[in-house]
Structure 1
Amino acid sequence: MPAPELPRPQSSLPEAASRFGAHLLASAAARALDVKGVTGGLPGAPSPPVPPVASAAAPGPLSTSAATEASARGAGLERILRGPSGLGTAGLRLTPRDEPQSAPSAPVATAEGTPVPGLYHHPVPEPDPVRVEEVSRRIKAWALDEVALYPDDWEEEFDGFSVGRYMVGCHPDAPTVDHLMLATRLMVAENAVDDCYCEDHGGSPVGLGERLLLAHTALDPLHTTEEYRPGWAKSLHADAPRRAYRSAMEYFVRAASASQADRLRHDMARLHMGYLAEAAWAQLDHVPEVWEYLAMRQFNNFRPCPTITDTVGGYELPADLHAQAGVQKVIALAGNATTIVNDLYSYTKELDAPGHHLNLPVVIAEREGLSDRDAYLKSVEVHNDLMHDFESEAAALAGACPNPGVHRFLRGVAAWVDGNHHWHQSNTYRYSLPDFW
C-alpha cells in the first residue's frame, strides 16, 4: 500500500513573530494548559478542551477577558507562595502547605478503569469511536500485510494494546486519519523493538547494542558504497522490528518536513541510549540510585511521541523554535511524567513477569529502604511533581513567547500527556493496580 501524500506541514514563523500583545500572552498561557490546575487545582479536575487549529499562524480564538488574565496571574502567585512541592522541600516553602487530613481513599472502579489514587491528572473525553475503529482497522492491516509484524498467537495481545484508541486520544487535533496513522505506526514499531529486542518476546540485554544500532539504520539510513549497500538494504527486512521501523519511517518522511524527520531520528537515538543503560544494569544485576534511574527514564521514555505532535497535527513548529531550551525542557518533562505513569500502571504486570524489572517504585523501595506500598506512594508524588513542573514551565513559556505556533504545540503536548494517562487508566486488558489502598 503506497504511503499517502499528505501535504507538507506549513511553517509560519514570519507571520507568527509579528503577533504580539498582552491579551495573547495571558490567554495563550491559560489555553496552553490548565494553569489553575497546576497551581492548586484538585488532581483529576478536567482541563479545558483542546480546540483544533487550522494552522500555526491562525490559532483558534483566544479569550481576552480581564478575568482570565487575573486568574492566570493569581494562580501563578499561588504557586510561588506555595513553594516547591518536591520530596524533601518542606523547609523551602514560603507559606505552610496544607497537609492531607487522611490517607488517600480507596480507588473506585469505573467503566473507564481505575485511576491511581492521588495521581495528578486531567480526565479527557473518550476518544472519537469512529476514528478509533478506522485507525484500529488500518494499523492491523499494516501490521499483518505490510510488515508481517507478529505471528498468529500474538493477535490477542496486539488487539488488547488498543493502539488505535491510544493514538486517537493523544492527538485530538489530528486533521485526518492519515495523520493519526503516522503516530500509530511509529508507536507500534517502537513497541515491537522494545518487546522483541529488550523484553517480553525474546528480548535480552545481551547483544542489545548491535540490534538497536542496526534497527536505527531503518530510521537514519546508512550511506555506504554500492558494494555493501545491498547487504544493508536486505537487513531492513530481517526481523519484525526492522520491518516496522523502516515502513513507519517511510510514511513519516513523506508527510513531515526534513527538520521534523531529523528531530524524530534524534529522539529515537535518545530512546535507544536509554534502552542500553537499562540493559547494562540488567547484565550487572545492579539497582541504580533513584536519581540515576530517573536520568535513564529521561531517555528511555515517551519523548518521541509528543515531539511529533505538530507533524500529526498537520503543521510545523519551526526548527529554531523547537530547539529552544524552554521548549526542550517542556518536552522532556512531558516525557518524564508520562513514563512514570507507565511505571505506576504497569507495576503489577511487571512484578508478575519473569525476571527483575526496574521501575520507579522498585528502585525507591530497594534504594531507600521503604516498603513496597510506601515506595509506590512516593512514586506517585514524584510523578505529581513532574506534572506540576511540566505545566508551570509550559505556562511560563507560553507567556514568554508570543508565537501562536509555540502555543499550539504546547496544547498538543498537553493533550498527549492527558491522552497517555487516559489510555493507561482505561486499558484494563494490560494493567491493574496494586492493593495498596
Structure 2
Amino acid sequence: MPAPDPSPAQSTLPEAASRFGAHVLADAAARACDIAAATGGPPRVPSLPGPPEAAAPPAGAAVSPPALSPPDPTPLDFSGLAHTEAPLPAVDLARILRGPSGLGTAGLRLTPPGEPAAPPEPPAAVEGTPIPGLYFHPVPEPDPVRVEEVSRRIKSWALDEVDLYPDDWEEQFDGFSVGRYMVGCHPDAPSIDHLMIATRLMVAENAVDDYYCEDHGGSPVGLGERLLLAHTALDPLHTTKEYEPQWAQSLHSDAPRRAYRSAMEYFVRSASASQADRLRHDMARLHMGYLAEAAWAQLDRVPEVWEYLAMRQFNNFRPCPTITDTVGGYELPADLHARPAMQRVIALAGNATTIVNDLYSYTKELAAPGKHLNLPVVIAEREDVSERDAYLKAVEVHNDLMHAFESEAAALAVDCPVPTVQRFLRGVAAWVDGNHHWHQTNTYRYSLPDFW
C-alpha cells in the first residue's frame, strides 16, 4: 500500500492550540506513531509553531519517554475551526474530520487546506430496518473481500487454536457475522492482521459473556470468581515459582480463558505497553459492570434508570473503540488518551453504542428465558410507562448521548489539534457508525418491536 502523501507545511494552528500548550503538542507529535511505520512510509515530523521551550509544561506534567516510531503525517484542514463557538448538538465537524472513503484510504489523509470537503458517497442499500427516530449515520457496506478473509481466519482461530465452541454452536457463530462487524468498525485498519487484533478480542469478550453470564450456561452465582480468574489471562498473575504452573495451566481450563489468553497474546505483539495497559483497565471496567448486573439478578431487583445507565457505562463496548489506534497501526499517546476531555468522548461513545445494542436486541431478549435488563425494560418498570413509551424514551436517551458524543468530540478536535488526536477521534466515530450498521443489518440476530 503506498505511503500517505506528505503533510503540507502549516504556518499556524488554531488559536485554541495555544491554550493546550506548545510543549504538550510538540511532545505528543514527536511520540505519535502512524500507519507509515507499518507500511514502510518515510518518517516525517510535522512542523509546529514556535520552539517547544516557548511554553512551559503544565505543573506536574509527566515527562514522556523518547519516540518509539514516527509521527502521524495526516494533513489536517483547520480552516474555520479556530473561532468555532460552543458546539451545538449534532455538530460533527464533517463527521469528526472524516477522511476519504474506500479501502486503504480512510484515516490516511484529510482534505488539504483550501479545498472543500467532498460529500461522502451515499451508501448502497443494506439489509435491515433502522429504528425509527434513532439518530445515526449510514455507512457503506464493509469491503466484502476483507469480510470474507477475516471471517475465515476468525473461525479457524476459534475452532483450531482455542477450541471455543461445540459443533452445535456453529450456526450461531456464523450468524454473529463478526468479520463483517469488525471490518465495518475499523475502516482505517491497514491490513487483515490489524483487523484480526480487534476480531479475536471481540469474540473472546462474547465468549466470556455467553459462558459466564448469559446464554450458554452463565449464572450470576459465582460470577466474581470466574471473572477474576479469567482476567488473569489479560493481566498476568505475578506469584511464586511454586504456584505459577497451576495458574498457567488454569488459563487452558475453559473456553473463555483460552480465548482471552490467546487474543491478548496477539494484541500485545502489536500494541505498545501503554496501549496494552489501557485495554486491561477497560476490561476490568467491563467485568465490574458484569458484576453489578449479576448482583441485581441475584437480588431480583430492577435498578433505577440512572443506576442502570451507570452500570452500562462499565458493562459496555468501551474496550472496542478504545483500541482503535492499535487496530489502525498507530498510537494515541497515553497522556492525550488520559485527558478528561478524551475520556469523556470515549465514555459517551461507549454508552451510545451500548444503548444501540439494548434497542436492537430488545425483542431477542424478551423472547429469551428469564428476565433480561435493558434500558426500555428498566424505564418501563421504574417510570411506570408502557413498553412502547419506554422504548421510545430509550431512543431519546440514545440520541442525547450521540449528540453529546459528537459535540464533545468536535470541541476536543478544535482544542487539541494534534494529528493523532484527530485520527483517534475519527476512528472512534467510525466505530460508532459501524456498530450501528452491524446491529441494523444483522437480521439473523435482531428484529424490531412493532411500536410504530
- What range is the shorter-chain TM-score in? 0.7 to 0.9
AA paired with 1:64?
A: P
TM-score by length of 1: 0.81
Q: Could you tell me whether the CA contact under 8 Å between 1:169 and 1:420 is conserved in 2?
A: yes
1:410 pairs with 405, 408, 425, which one?
Answer: 425
**Residues 159 and 11 (structure 1), Cα distance of their counterparts in 2 relative to 1, 3 Å cut:** farther
| 2:217 aligned residue (202, 208, 214) | 202
Residues 112 and 48 (structure 1), Cα distance of their counterparts in 2 relative to 1, 3 Å cut: farther
- Equivalent residue for 1:25? 78
SS at match of 1:298: helix
**1:134 corresponds to 2:149:** yes
Quick one: distance in 2 between partners of 1:27 and 1:37? 18
Which digits, 9 at most, give the CA deviation of each residue in 1:4-27, with x for residues without a partner?
xxxxxx94289468269xx84347
Corresponding residue number in structure 1 for 2:24 = none
Structure 1 residue 38, shift from structure 2 partner: 1.2
SS for the counterpart of 1:38 is coil
User: Could you tell me whether the CA contact under 8 Å between 2:164 and 2:256 is conserved in 1?
Assistant: yes
**Aligned pair 1:348/2:348, yes or no?**
no
Name the amino acid aligned to 1:272. Answer: H
Who is 1:38 aligned against?
A: 90
Q: Please, which runs of 5 or more residues in structure 1 have no aligned partner? A: 1-9, 30-34, 69-109
Aligned residues: 377
Q: Does 1:12 align with 2:32?
A: yes
Aligned mates of 1:124, 1:259 — CA distance in 2: 31
- Per the alignment, residue 425 of structure 1 pairs with 440
Q: Cα deviations across residues 50-105 of structure 1 (Å, max 9, x unaligned)? A: 5589999x95144534978xxxxxxxxxxxxxxxxxxxxxxxxxxxxxxxxxxxxx
Q: Distance in 1 between matches of 2:228 and 2:396?
A: 36
Residues in 2 aligned to 1:137 and 1:40: alpha-carbon distance in whole angstroms: 35
SS in 2 for 1:25: coil
Change (3 A) 1:313 1:11: farther
- Within 5 A, what are the aligned runs for 1:134-283? 134-283=149-298
Higher relative contact order, chain-length normalized (CA < 8 Å, sep 6+)? 1
Query: Is the Cα–Cα contact under 8 Å of residues 362 and 372 in structure 1 kept in the other structure?
Result: yes
- CA offsets per residue over residues 298-327 of structure 1, 9 Å max, x none? 000000000000000000000111111111
Q: Which protein has the bigger helix share?
A: 1
* Contact persistence 1:27–1:64 (CA under 8 A): no
Measured at CA, do residues 144 and 59 of structure 1 come closer, stay the same or move farther in structure 2, by a change above 3 Å? closer
Structure 1 CA distance, aligned partners of 2:150 and 2:104?
Answer: 22
Percent identity at matched positions? Answer: 78
2:139 matched residue in structure 1: 124
What is the identity, as a one-letter code, of the residue corresponding to 1:342?
N
* Structure 2 residue 384 is matched with structure 1 residue 369: yes
| Contact 2:92-2:410 at 8 Å conserved across structures | no
The alignment partner of 1:354 has SS state of coil
Q: What amino acid sits opposite 1:319 in the alignment?
A: A
RMSD in angstroms over aligned alpha carbons? 2.8
Q: What secondary structure does 2:129 align onto?
A: coil
Letter in 1 for 2:380: A
* CA distance in structure 1 between the aligned counterparts of 2:207 and 2:81, rounded to whole angstroms: 38
Consecutive unaligned residues in structure 2, runs of 5 or more: 1-29, 34-43, 51-75, 118-124
Structure 1 runs (4+) deviating above 2 angstroms are 10-20, 23-29, 45-56, 61-68
> Structure 2 CA distance, aligned partners of 1:16 and 1:258?
24
Task: Tell me if the contact between 1:267 and 1:303 (Cα under 8 Å) persists in the aligned partners.
Answer: yes
How far 1:39 moved relative to its partner? 4.0
Offset from partner CA, 1:20-49 (integer Å, 9 cap, x none):
9xx8434789xxxxx8981499xxx99956
**Kept after mapping to 1: 8 A contact 2:275/2:326:** yes
CA 198–349 in structure 1, closer or farther in 2 if over 3 Å, else same = same
Measure the CA separation in 1 of the matches of 2:443 and 2:97. 24
1:213 alignment partner AA? L
